[in-house]
Amino acid sequence: SSLLLMFGVVVTVGLCRRLARRRLRSRPLLFAFLVEMFSTFQICACTNELSLLGNVEPQPHTALTLTYGFTVLHGLTLAGSTCNPCGTLQPMWGGGTSLRMGGLKVAAQFVAAVLARVFMHFIWSLEMAEPHLGALSQGCSSPMQTTEMQAFCIELLFSVVFQLAVLRAESVTPKYRVHLIALLITMLVYAGGNLTGAIFNPALAFSLHADCFYDKFVSYSLVYWIAPCLGKFLILHVF
């Protein structure tokens, strides 16, 4: 049921992106906002569901396999979208995207993060699958299983590694690049998922753990917002 749900989200988002591409080409700002929102919604909704499957046996093979598979699927179906505020900073820094367009895309990403959370909570309330039972009663299911400073350093390091790999992989053929990035993300999740969740995406972190941001805003914004953005700025400065 969880897999069918996630594939349903992917298909629906694909149809919405295609419809927007056909109808809104003459309105570039609205088109950019909606496409980025749909794409980020897909990643956030699927990752919310994947987070419930982390304890499915055999561990951690099932969770890592699903992470790799859906990361490849996202890469193939969401071409042209960043779905990450940190990724939006690069063209803004280099002058390839205006401040207005960049701000619009970041806003779309956080709107999608909230919509995905609301949508998934509604689905979980229906309790259609076994992993959904009791999912809404968890509250702040904190992914931070280490000290705040260590969590900050881990998310900063992962962001640097990921953003550097994305830049270095630009010259790779797209059909191979998707698998390389998916493999890297899976390795990072395996290495640090039990410590911080290995998220390195501010919008995705908010969608997954909004309750934790409400309870400990300073700590979580430092680890899951500032650290990834700082990692991106370090990469941009080096290059």
Share of the chain above pLDDT 90, in %: 55
Q: Which of 182, 153, 168, 148 is nearest to 235 (CA)?
A: 168
Question: What is the pTM for the complete model shown?
Answer: 0.93
Task: Look up residue 219 and give its amino acid.
Answer: S
172-196 pLDDT tens trace: 888 899 999 999 999 999 998 889 9
Amino acid 182: pLDDT: 94
Lowest mean pLDDT among 91-105, 143-157, 176-190: 91-105
User: In the predicted model, is pLDDT for residue 239 greater than 70?
Assistant: no
User: In the predicted model, is pLDDT for residue 139 greater than 70?
Assistant: no
Amino acid 32: pLDDT: 92
> How does residue 127 score in pLDDT terms, banded at 50, 70 and 90?
confident
Q: What is the mean pLDDT of residues 75-88?
A: 90
Q: What is the mean pLDDT of residues 93-98?
A: 75
Higher pLDDT pick, 122 / 1: 122
Count each helix (H run) and each strand (E run) in the chain, helices first. Answer: 11, 0
Q: Hey, what CATH topology would domain 2-238 get?
A: Glycerol uptake facilitator protein (1.20.1080)
CA angle, residues 88, 217, 220, in degrees to nearest 5 = 60
List alpha helices for 2-98, DSSP H: 2-23, 28-52, 61-77, 85-94
